[in-house]
Structure 1
Amino acid sequence: MKRINYLTTLIILLAGWMSCSVSELQAQRNANYQQLSIGDQRPSQFFDFLVLPGNSDETVTFASVYSFSYRTLPFKKLNQASAANNDDKRAFFSPINLSMEVFNSNEAQLKKRDSNISVERLEPAERSFWEDTAYAETYEQTQTELMFLYGNIGMELKPGIYTYVLQMTRGERSDPRISRTRTVRIDPYRDMEVGNVILGEELYSGQQEENQLKLMSMRDNVKYGSDFYAFAYIPHYDPGDSYTLTIRELSITGKDTTKGEEVFVQKLGNNEIRTELKPQLVSTGVNENILQLASDSDGFTYALVEVPNSTFPNASYQLTIRDNSEQTVSRTTYHSMWIDMPRSLLSLDIAIDMLRYIVDEATLDSLSEGSQSERERKFRAFWKKKDPTPDTEYNELMAEYYRRIDYAYQNFSTSNRIGYESDQGEVYIKFGPPQNIERKFPPSGSTVEIWSYPNREFIFRATSGFGDFRLVSE
């Protein structure tokens, strides 16, 4: 789902709620927000492992698929000579090197924790390497959560038990910075009883070429607020049988997934069933992981279904395909992940407290009362009434408001005042980024900043030499 730019509408809507003044935030709230911002450890490096058909029935393709967020990569600036020869304005780079070594293993290794697995005395089976470089045009891009470097390593293996060692080197270091060891059992592809499900972000198709599925490459996560494709292997497919795909939201308490709420059901017809396919990872020369859905008379049967994830809440789900006798033929569990979720939304208490800029005290008190579930219900209802796209789960207005909270904290905080308590922070939260910022340096007097909006201006004067500005005129 493409997200439309609602900035103009958001500024108008947010500005219309300014019926109250900002009260003094308690020191404990400030401390909680600072702790929340510093302690945010959402995953930004993803390693997924796929089993695909091999070149023959005697082998399978074992592949590792990666994606690395730019904000975790150690970028360096290109030297002037390299930058001068760059036509695409790339200014920063970060090399990545990965190696995967696979060893013939045994049942005893399968029972061990990953941290206790050793490859001593194991016979090497295969080894593969991958290297690439991430480029960025600006420093801001090197810090973003929304840009990724993608890659994959694949190898042909006979069915069996294997221990693999994956090592990654970031930047120009010679020592592996990330290393993980794991043991897996790989069954013959045709003998699988329950098929695996691969998550795709986008489907490319053309009249003269095979369909290509751009992989999500986020392990068992999908992007919150966006639809995706489920590519599910159906072992022992019977064309005379009927198949149904069901998605249930999983409860965070309890292990009985059959009690989860059913959010999507679709009977699979000819448009969703793809026969005689032998999918394979391909290199396209672009920064994507692509699965080519190649036709093969000796291929396999899959279901390819577009999932309306943009209408689902931010939660965990189980996707299951069953035949007419209710036997499970394909299954996976996945999680909806809001990659750029504002930090101020990670805590319900803080999210409610930050509404003080746009609601009166009576409304704030009402939202703050009750149990955790009651406060969450009231918080969701508050924003649902103001959702510019009510047919989708993603609320652009809410996301924009809390992004402004984060921006104010990150850009206007000083040793004297936390960012969202400052005059500049409050204006930014209420009205968004100004169309123009002009800074003046009077011969005698303090520095002045003028923020211009379509129908108003705000004038701030420096009160110290450390970035503190006070609103002096509107």
Structure 2
Amino acid sequence: MFILVLLITVLTSVNVFASDQQEKNQHKATPFSADYACFKGNEKQTYVEIYNQVDLNDLQMTHDGISYYCDYELKYTIYKDGALVREFQFDDLVNFDHNDEKGNKTRLNVQGILLQPGYYSCDIQLTDKATQKSQARPLFLDIPDFAVTKLIMSDIQIARSIYSTKQKNAFVKNGLFVKPNIYHSFDYFAAEMFVYYEIYGLTKEKNDDGYNADITCKIRKSNGALKKEIKHSVKHPTTDAVHSLRMSILELVQGEYELEIQIKDKNSKEKAINRTRFNIGWPDDFSQRDFVFDMIDQLKYVAPQWNFSGIITLPQQKQRAAILSFWKGRDPSPETAENELMDEFYKRVSFANKYFKQCQNKGWKSDKGKVYIQNGQPLTVYRLYSQTKQNAYEVWKYENQDKRFIFVDHMNFGDFRLIPQDAVEYFELE
């Protein structure tokens, strides 16, 4: 019986998205994505956060004799009306213990700057320091003026999680750590959405003990149909306020949506409205039916003793809820919005599908895929060749776990099959 041994791997950076320019700013040809969000700065300038998500698979891995690492630079050049306004760069080094550990991993970062309101273009260039190869992409900035007397909102920032913290880094705003969603996209396993925004210019009467507002959040399909509405009232001690919202999206089906947030000042009766888009999608190119069946079959790698046949007969939305409930019961940190065990599991499934596909079989169904999903990245991998049988063998060793797996290619077509550990052939290769 296989037992799942998941090694939780978390990169120490995160990324963000918060404007409606997603389609214009995302260029799939480059190994990184970019977007921005605007918040109140000082009397003359707006605070702008520029977000980047770098795909580490597109960078050269370097080995220094002890560990592996990717080393890259992001250079930002900002123009207004063709004139240079500002230029700066960010250097990042990502370390790994093993080769190929970077599979399916991204690096996220944020750069905060002050700019006067107006229209700008920002050229972002990524340079892989190992190869000195560079790729660039444009980002167009529409910077609003928040230094006004009327009621106004910041950009709406769609996030994967938001939580209180005493840490101080670029992703913490007003005591909240915001882990953004740069694409505004949620896959099959997303049960909830987090939202961050700020309000400026609330008013009150002299005798009021706070600044009061009514807030209405609406989610609409791309055709305008209202799918969800949340209303609540708030009271703040100051004229400017910070808001975060945790919202269930479990009932939403695949498609494009618009989130609208309206603020109404109870005293002045002024209103401020902002909108942004997000997407509920599927992480792979399977049909919904086949995709769900795959999800159910994959759960057998985690709990082989379970009978999952009952989930197959459920309606689609209940299937999704049942799968999420299965993972929720195994969440190593239920107090947080993320389920690290589930995230790591499906990263491994994605890696297996990409690198271990055999003929018409999906990678997660192959012997290599199964071992990788259940045990993670092997410490060492090497090939052996039999002079008598003319077969190729591949050995995966997990020294820290005192285990190894041996695969044999009987047909010499690259179709490696796992040798049972009680087979004579296994011991002949000791």
Instruction: Assess same fold via TM > 0.5.
Output: yes
* The one of 191, 196, 212 aligned to 1:230: 196
Alpha-carbon distance in 2 for matches of 1:352, 1:90: 36
How far off is 1:171 after superposition? 0.9
How far off is 1:318 after superposition? 3.2
Amino acid at match of 1:268: V
Preserved contact between residue 195 and residue 244 of structure 2 (Cα < 8 Å): yes
Residues 203 and 131 (structure 1), Cα distance of their counterparts in 2 relative to 1, 3 Å cut: farther
| Paired position in structure 1 for 2:213 | 243
TM-score, normalised with respect to structure 2: 0.62
* The one of 208, 222, 246 aligned to 1:308: 246
* The one of 46, 52, 71 aligned to 1:62: 46
1:170 match: secondary structure: strand
| Paired position in structure 2 for 1:170 | 126
Residues 65 and 470 (structure 1), Cα distance of their counterparts in 2 relative to 1, 3 Å cut: same
Residues 407 and 97 (structure 1), Cα distance of their counterparts in 2 relative to 1, 3 Å cut: closer
| Paired position in structure 2 for 1:413 | 357
Whose Rg is larger? Answer: 1
1:351 match: secondary structure: helix
- 2:87 is the alignment partner of 1:153: no
Amino acid at match of 1:177: A
Amino acid at match of 1:349: R
| Paired position in structure 2 for 1:92 | 70
Greater helix share, 1 or 2?
A: 1
Preserved contact between residue 71 and residue 142 of structure 1 (Cα < 8 Å): no
* The one of 379, 384, 388 aligned to 2:319: 379
TM-score, normalised with respect to structure 1: 0.57
1:238 match: secondary structure: coil
Alpha-carbon distance in 2 for matches of 1:305, 1:346: 37
Preserved contact between residue 192 and residue 250 of structure 2 (Cα < 8 Å): no
- Structure 1: which 5+ residue stretches go unaligned? 1-5, 11-39, 104-118, 276-300, 368-373
Residues 149 and 461 (structure 1), Cα distance of their counterparts in 2 relative to 1, 3 Å cut: same
| Paired position in structure 2 for 1:297 | none
Using the aligned pairs only, state the percent identity: 13
Preserved contact between residue 34 and residue 51 of structure 2 (Cα < 8 Å): yes
Work out the number of aligned pairs and report it.
360
Q: How does 1:180-329 map to 2 (within 5 A)?
A: 180-181=139-140, 184=142, 186-187=144-145, 189-197=147-155, 199=157, 201=162, 203-205=164-166, 211=174, 214=177, 216=179, 221=184, 230-238=196-204, 240=208, 242-248=212-218, 250-255=219-224, 259-263=226-230, 265-269=231-235, 273=236, 275=238, 301-309=239-247, 311-313=248-250, 317-324=259-266, 327=269, 329=271
Amino acid at match of 1:70: V
Amino acid at match of 1:164: Y
Preserved contact between residue 202 and residue 240 of structure 2 (Cα < 8 Å): no
Alpha-carbon distance in 2 for matches of 1:128, 1:434: 43
Q: How does 1:28-43 map to 2 (within 5 A)?
A: none
1:93 match: secondary structure: strand
Alpha-carbon distance in 1 for matches of 2:369, 2:67: 33
Preserved contact between residue 235 and residue 329 of structure 1 (Cα < 8 Å): no
Amino acid at match of 1:99: T
Alpha-carbon distance in 2 for matches of 1:137, 1:395: 23
How far off is 1:396 after superposition? 6.7
Alpha-carbon distance in 2 for matches of 1:455, 1:386: 29
Amino acid at match of 1:130: F
| Paired position in structure 2 for 1:127 | 85
How far off is 1:324 after superposition? 3.2
Preserved contact between residue 167 and residue 178 of structure 1 (Cα < 8 Å): yes
Residues 225 and 154 (structure 1), Cα distance of their counterparts in 2 relative to 1, 3 Å cut: farther
* The one of 356, 369, 387 aligned to 1:425: 369
How far off is 1:433 after superposition? 3.9
How far off is 1:386 after superposition? 2.3
